[in-house]
């Protein structure tokens, strides 16, 4: 025990020294003459927010598991996005849950090993998900494979309903789900049009309750749970009551934006360092800022937006130039601005009185904001470094309606409108 305590003390000391050194190097990197010398060292030491476990890797792993006929469900952050039907935030890992953990983990491990992953030290689980095996690949992609505490869930089910007792007795001490539990705990969602097995929203809420300490992504998960609970039927969160309603004295507003997740990892890291708000929403091109007060967003407004965007084809574009609004805002300018213009014109035609921005000069330029906070030296440094990553390929596939229903500077998703895919806009073949 003394040796373990000493090891923890040394580990904390090394981490603290590393954090201090990175902070000092960041300050030196702001000095332009020192930047070429300091930046390579800083990139090696500062690994925060560099990794993106993107949808391509998610689909590669799921495809391999499907090929081996392995029963699994995606959970955690990606699990919520699978239920949402698209990526809603940048993920650093993938959480999987499997049935019959003791029996099937070896097969899952073989699949992951064939994909280039290696087994790491296991993690302690939670009451609902008691075991967790960890795998990582050479690029740092991190996968956690969890068991499901079916026995605990069965006991909880017996407390809540008497009808499941006989079914539960058939599965005593078995690491498997009863048919009734399986139906309640599992679901199916999609990513990029591909069907993905996932845990149900209720089971995902249990998964997120298992963490002792609140993490930054947990508040985001709470927002996403509220978004999913609204379902296809629009309920205005301002008039619905409950905890999502603002307790401050601001008038909730809405924005329409096109989210972008294809930032290179190093640029994402830099934006997080130099005062960007990527914790609140992903990089995006604004279409209406603001759109309407939240109190004015009715079911009819939502239906009109659905019809409008269902007729707009998804399209690829590039972020290819660094630009400035004075010295306050550094941004990336997208190509194919005429396609963004046509969307804005359609919005303004459908909803007279709305506009892209309260600032007339800003409304003339389509942009993806890199930073508008912190010092001018920070923004200049970010602009110089961002230029090294250009051009960045991106794709407009959805438009988000976001709202600041709780606080003026905190935004969450209220609705996702998919743009038309190739099959939606294709001309029907002649018989």
Domain boundaries, the chain: 55-209, 234-423
Phi, psi dihedrals of residue 115, rounded to the nearest 5°: -85, 0
Are 134 and 143 within 8 A, CB to CB?
yes
Q: How far apart are CA 367 and CA 321, in angstroms?
A: 10
Q: How far apart are CA 65 and CA 40, in angstroms?
A: 38
Q: How far apart are CA 332 and CA 318, in angstroms?
A: 10
Q: What is the pLDDT of residue 14?
A: 46
> Higher confidence at residue 35 or residue 272?
272
Q: What percent of the chain has pLDDT over 70?
A: 73
Q: What is the pLDDT of residue 227?
A: 84
List Cα–Cα distances, 415 to 188, 233, 407, in angstroms: 20, 11, 18
Stretch 380-398: mean pLDDT: 91
What's the CA angle centered on 222, arms 60 and 299, to 5 degrees?
95
CA-based nearest residue to 309, from 399, 414, 423: 399
| Structure tokens, 215 | 């993490």
Sign of CA dihedral 96, 97, 98, 102: positive
Q: Tell me the per-residue pLDDT of 174-200, one tens digit each, with 9 for 90 and over.
A: 566 677 778 888 999 999 889 999 999
* pLDDT of residue 248 exceeding 70: no
Are 294 and 405 within 8 A, CB to CB?
yes
Query: In the predicted model, what is the mean pLDDT of the chain?
Result: 79
User: What is the CATH class of 234-423?
Assistant: alpha beta
Question: Per mean pLDDT, which range of 289-298, 356-365, 393-402 is the poorest?
Answer: 356-365
> Higher confidence at residue 263 or residue 423?
263
Phi, psi dihedrals of residue 173, rounded to the nearest 5°: 60, 20
CATH architecture of 55-209: 2-Layer Sandwich (3.30)
The pLDDT confidence band at residue 411, using thresholds 50, 70 and 90, is confident
> Higher confidence at residue 353 or residue 26?
353
The pLDDT confidence band at residue 234, using thresholds 50, 70 and 90, is confident
Specify the pairing of strand 142-146 against strand 93-98: parallel
The pLDDT confidence band at residue 109, using thresholds 50, 70 and 90, is very high
| Structure tokens, 423 | 């099959």
Q: What percent of the chain has pLDDT over 90?
A: 34
Q: What is the pLDDT of residue 11?
A: 45
Q: Which residues pair with 401 in a beta bridge?
A: 256, 415
The pLDDT confidence band at residue 430, using thresholds 50, 70 and 90, is very low
Q: What is the pLDDT of residue 115?
A: 95
Q: Count CB atoms within 10 A of the CB of residue 266.
A: 16
* pLDDT of residue 91 exceeding 90: no
Q: How far apart are CA 26 and CA 12, in angstroms?
A: 21
CA-based nearest residue to 257, from 276, 280, 238, 234: 280
The DSSP H or E segment spanning 150 is helix 150-160
With left for phi above 0 and alpha for psi between -120 and 50, is residue 49 left, alpha or beta? Answer: left
Q: Tell me the per-residue pLDDT of 312-344, one tens digit each, with 9 for 90 and over.
A: 999 999 999 999 988 888 999 999 889 999 999
Strand order in the sheet with 410-418: 392-396, 315-325, 329-334, 368-371, 284-288, 254-259, 398-407, 410-418
> What ranges in 232-371 are assigned the alpha helix state H?
237-240, 265-273, 299-310, 337-350, 360-363
């Amino acid at each position: 025990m003394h040796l373990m305590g000493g090891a923890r003390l040394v580990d904390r000391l090394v981490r603290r020294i590393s954090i201090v050194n990175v902070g000092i190097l960041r300050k030196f990197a702001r000095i332009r003459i020192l930047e070429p010398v300091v930046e390579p060292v800083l990139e090696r030491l500062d690994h925060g927010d560099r990794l993106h476990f993107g949808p391509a890797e998610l689909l590669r792993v799921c495809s391999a598991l499907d090929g081996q006929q392995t029963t699994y469900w995606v959970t955690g952050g990606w699990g919520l996005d699978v239920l949402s039907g698209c990526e809603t935030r940048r993920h650093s890992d993938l959480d999987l849950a499997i049935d019959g953990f003791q029996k099937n983990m070896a097969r899952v491990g073989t699949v992951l090993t064939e994909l280039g992953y290696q087994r790491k030290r296991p993690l302690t689980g939670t009451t609902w998900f008691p075991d967790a095996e960890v795998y990582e690949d050479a690029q740092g992609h991190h996968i956690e494979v969890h068991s499901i505490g079916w026995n605990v869930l069965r006991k909880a089910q017996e407390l809540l309903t008497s009808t499941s007792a006989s079914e539960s007795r058939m599965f005593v001490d078995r690491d498997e789900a009863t048919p009734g539990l399986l139906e309640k705990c599992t679901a199916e969602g999609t990513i990029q049009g591909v069907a993905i097995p996932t845990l149900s929203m209720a089971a995902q809420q249990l998964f997120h309750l298992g963490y002792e300490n609140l993490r930054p992504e947990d508040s985001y998960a709470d927002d996403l749970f509220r978004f999913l609970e609204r379902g296809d039927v629009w309920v205005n969160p301002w008039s619905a009551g409950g905890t999502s309603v603002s307790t401050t004295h601001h008038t909730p507003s809405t924005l329409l934006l096109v989210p972008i997740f294809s930032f290179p990892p190093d640029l994402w890291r830099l934006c997080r360092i130099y005062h960007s708000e990527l914790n609140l929403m992903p990089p995006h091109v604004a279409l209406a800022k603001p759109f309407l007060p939240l109190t004015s967003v009715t079911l009819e407004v939502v239906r009109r937006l659905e019809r409008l965007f269902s007729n707009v084809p998804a399209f690829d574009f590039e972020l290819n130039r660094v630009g400035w609004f004075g010295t306050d805002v550094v941004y990336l300018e997208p190509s194919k601005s005429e396609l963004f213009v046509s969307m804005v014109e359609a919005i303004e035609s459908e909803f007279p009185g709305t506009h892209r921005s309260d600032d007339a000069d800003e409304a003339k330029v389509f942009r993806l904001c890199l930073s508008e906070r912190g010092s001018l030296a920070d923004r200049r440094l970010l602009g110089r470094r961002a230029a090294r990553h250009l051009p960045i390929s991106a794709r407009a596939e959805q438009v988000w309606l976001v709202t600041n229903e709780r606080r003026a500077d905190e935004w969450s998703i209220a609705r996702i409108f998919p743009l038309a895919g190739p099959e939606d806009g294709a001309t029907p073949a002649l018989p």
